[in-house]
Amino acid sequence: MLLWNVVPTHPGTETTNRPPARAEVVAGRLFAEELARGRQVIAVGRIAAAALGSPAVRHPSRGGAVAFAAGLRELTSS
């Protein structure tokens, strides 16, 4: 199993949290596809879910830690 945000390096700075650029998403997706070969992928966040076409959990930032943990439990149980 691979738990992955499509852009493994945070695109923001100390003062901003910008969304990743299209080129960053494309590069991250290609890297993730290679890394994920033969594994189930769980996307972290909406951008990763759209780029990877995988089931997703909420990104844990900005108050999302509880939803992240619940989503992870749900997708990994059974």
- Cα angle 47-22-11, degrees, rounded to a multiple of 5: 70
Residue 13 lies in a domain: no
The number of distinct structural domains making up the chain is 1
* Sheet of strand 41-44: strand arrangement: 2-4, 41-44, 56-57
pTM listed for this prediction: 0.81
CA dist 38 and 76 (Å) reads: 16
CA dist 49 and 59 (Å) reads: 11
Residue 14 lies in a domain: no
Residue 15 lies in a domain: no
Residue 61 lies in a domain: yes
Mean pLDDT (the chain, rounded):
88
Q: Which domain holds residue 33?
A: 2-8+21-76
Residue 29 lies in a domain: yes
Give the pLDDT mean for 46-50: 92
Per-residue pLDDT at 49 exceeds 70: yes
Residue 16 lies in a domain: no
